[in-house]
Amino acid sequence: MKIYDLRTEYRENPIGLAVKSPRFSWKMRTDEKNTVQNIYRIEVTDNGKTVWDTGMQESRDSVLVPYEGELLCDETLYTVKVTVWDNYGRAGSAETTFETGVFDPQTFRAEMITHDFEQEETACPVFYKNILLKGDVKKARLYATAQGVYEFAVNGVKAGENRMTPGWTSYHNRLQYQIYDVTEQIKSGENLLEMTVGNGWYKGILGFMCTSDIYGDRVGAFAELHITYEDGGIEVIGTDENWGVRTGEIRYSEIYMGETIDTDAPQIREGNVSVKDFDKSILTAQENEPVRITERIPAKELIVTPKGERLVDFGQNITGLAEIRIKGYKGQKITIRHAEVLDKDGNFYPETLRQAKSIDTYICNGEDQVFLPHFTFHGFRYICVEGIDEMKPEMFTACVMHSDMESIGSFHTSNKKINQLQSNISWGMRDNFLDIPTDCPQRDERLGWTGDAQVFSWTASYLRNTALFFSKWMRDMFAESSLEKGVPHVVPDILGSYSSSAWSDAAVIIPWVVYQTYGDTRILEENWKCMHEWVDYITNNCEENGLWMTGFQYGDWLALDKEESADRTGATDKYMIANAYYLYVTDLVKQTAEVLGYEDDAAKYASLYEKTLDAFRREYYTETGRIVSETQTGCILALYFNLARENDRGRILKTLLTNIENHKNHLATGFVGTPYICHALSENGAHDMACTLLMREDYPSWLYAVNMGATTIWERWNSIKPDSTFDESGMNSLNHYAYGSIGDWMYRKAAGINQLEPGYKKILIKPMFVKGIEEAEGTFESPYGKIVSGYSCKDGKIHIHAEIPANTTAVIVLPEKGEKIEVGSGVYDYEYDTGTSLKTLRFSMDSTLSEIVAEPLAVQMFNQFAPGMLDGPMVQMAMQMTLAEMLGAAPDARPMFEAVVNALNAQEE
């Protein structure tokens, strides 16, 4: 038995940790089945001195165990040793370290400084200071942040690999700082400190209107260098009025517009430094994974377009930068433009960027050079190159940039197009999770839309470890929300628009997703006020009937079931959507109160839920089960959010299936309905229709975009039309991840990986076959270890494979058989025949009648063999009975069912 992956606050050996009660997590690895942890012991020491020793704790807790020892000191290195004993009496141990930073930001001596350059000066200021150190350096830690985005260099060497620091937060409320180990860059004697600051999100061009100076009209620099000498002495050097400032090679830099770098003869200007008013209490140590270059993609092809444009194709739509390697002549000007796609004639097509110019310009100095922008990023697959006569593929590299979250999930099948869809989903996340969850990475927007993040949050948490990313973003949501205004539509809020269902509901749903995925109760504690105040805001704005019927709503954004092209809200009653979500988040707040032990609040929101549900049913459902909005999304929410009365679910499912059939077995859903449509079908006896929707290849469908060459998820189902022309709405991103929310269904239903308890302490393995996919497998690195679930269904044999990590248990449900097997940790394989004459790939003895008649072909055959049978009152009452139950109650019906199944088999062949 081995202990591995020992972490502190999700991190490996962190430095600068400013969490007063850090939490420790570890995993167990063993080949022995049914292994659980019986005892753990955590020992934390400071230079050999014990500051916390749990002793032998009889517990199975191994995820986010909080530190409860002596008060931690600033800038101290602690060693953590964890020893575990399992139920077989075996022991294992592991060690890690964490180094604290500065707990009280008010103790920083540095000042926020700025420059006096005129507003017309577009060059990035470089703040600098020459320092003289008095001895040999044992340790050097740099704390730095900016009002803007910055890079810090010590003796000409950049500190760390982070980019776009300090990230985007609610700058008036919170400003992150980063911590760097610069010991190897510092030397005894003279040293040069330089801090270059770009406009970034703080001062730069931002939003639909391309407005600048949203947070301030001057960038600022804040840094403090802590030197520990070999003789034990300590020196602190911080930014103040004694620093200098000048302009440098970066002559212009804007996130939307691009960057200009002049290495030939830039005009260097000296300026004066002054101290800005700045409240240090808003400073917070880096909370999420920094943005980094995580992958480098070589040029795939050089292209000359019909218009004569010279392009580089990298083969993948990415977020990041194009690196250029060249030995140009002195003064040579190179211009790089970016685009996601080519037009139908094969020409460069940058129109999806709208006002974002995304142009990088370089002036060469005549030497061998590598050009890469500093303070911008682009969404692109193609670059158009001007100013280079002889282009070679090896000169160009696409540098992928995003928050460097750990990849934890994979999904692979025997179907190449589904695999490409999964790749598109994954890339859509990578391209848009750049410090905040942006809607798109390329155009003049790139905002933290709450609705997009909310609908994708489950899928995101299967793909990458989102715990720190979402925790950081939720703190900004908390800072900008209130009981009076509600929750913003974008976070950080630069639009001043608040409170719409499905969007603002992110305040409740995302903390719940993190809790369910990682077992992290701290995010619930931190956001409890914001979560319940969002529900309270809705309650305070309800009509006399107890429902939310006022204010702006996005509805089922970009749904296809409304003819008016100017209205993007879809055909589903937007206040029905609002109240469906009102009920959903009220229930989540009730459950959160239960988790946190707030009994009175749990009772309060349970009562509110029941009262509101009654009002909702009276408003939106008839006594016979009809819905006010008999749209796909109206039915989906009724089923998935469990809003319909139990005896009405069959009718609502039938309405949903009829609507889908009327759309020729296609979806017509937007941002609200799409995440849940396949779940609602699979969970209500119509899994076959869910599979049909997944496997469609014509418009509108997920695979339509795949067939059109997409390498990311599109904003619209028809962002590129079948004739290769483009949607002309002026809102047409080819890198929008919201519709990638089908990924959650792919992991939960097709691969069958589900959590039965928060953090996957107890796991449900329940793969569901998808026609057209003979083999599928999902993997997921849970807080306890790797979970694997896969199936193979071919040659008359079914094979199920599952891997369950130590210290967890699982329930494995065998498809077709419906058999449930409770297991402990270990590797499990099951193989059996596909079934008897009453079993097909579509239906099993555990299938309900409603599941069977969800298939139009089955309905036709029943009507052929027994006309009128399905309309009989007894059959309607038996819709939720399984085949086995029906044949047990009415054995005379067996010949008819066998005839139908045999006909289905013949149709399959």
Q: What are phi and psi of 438, to 5 degrees?
A: -80, 160
User: Which among 203, 286, 278, 145 is positioned nearest to 494, based on CA atoms?
Assistant: 203
Can you name the residues that pair with 819 across neighbouring β-strands? none
CB within 8 Å of 799: residues ≥ 6 apart: 791, 792, 793, 829, 830, 831
Tell me which amino acid residue 787 is. I
CB within 8 Å of 357: residues ≥ 6 apart: 256, 257, 258
Structure tokens at 194: 């330089």
DSSP string over 147-194:
ESEEEEEETTEESSS-BSBT----TTT-EEEEEEE-TTT--SEEEEEE
Q: Which of 9, 340, 445, 851 is catalytic?
A: 445
CB within 8 Å of 169: residues ≥ 6 apart: 175, 176, 472, 475, 476, 492
Structure tokens at 774: 């003979």
Angle, nearest 10°, between helix axes 450-463 and 467-479? 160
- Are residues 567 and 670 in contact, defined by beta-carbon separation less than 8 angstroms? no
Asked if 445 is an active-site residue, the reply is yes
∠ CA 764-765-768, nearest 5°, is: 125
CB within 8 Å of 143: residues ≥ 6 apart: 16, 101, 102, 108, 110, 177, 178, 179, 223, 224, 225, 226
User: Which among 590, 601, 586 is positioned nearest to 505, based on CA atoms?
Assistant: 586
Distances (CA, A) of 850 to 585, 640, 649, 677, 882: 29, 16, 10, 17, 9
Using DSSP's 3-state secondary structure scheme, residue 609 falls into helix
Strand order in the sheet with 65-66: 2-8, 23-29, 65-66
Q: How many CB atoms lie within 10 A of CB 246?
A: 16
CB within 8 Å of 358: residues ≥ 6 apart: 256, 257, 258, 337, 338, 350, 378, 379, 380, 442
573 phi-psi bin (left φ>0, alpha ψ -120 to 50, beta other): beta
Q: Which of 224, 715, 803, 855 is catalytic?
A: 715
The Cα 609–Cα 77 span in angstroms is 49
- Are residues 684 and 674 in contact, defined by beta-carbon separation less than 8 angstroms? no
The Cα 113–Cα 278 span in angstroms is 9
Structure tokens at 751: 């691969």
Tell me which amino acid residue 8 is. T
The Cα 719–Cα 726 span in angstroms is 6
The Cα 23–Cα 6 span in angstroms is 11
Strand residues in 100-156 grouped as ranges (E)? 113-115, 125-133, 137-147, 149-154
Pairing assessment for the beta strands 436-437 and 378-386 based on DSSP bridges: unpaired
The Cα 736–Cα 758 span in angstroms is 29
Asked if 623 is an active-site residue, the reply is no
Q: How many CB atoms lie within 10 A of CB 302?
A: 15
Active site residues: 445, 715
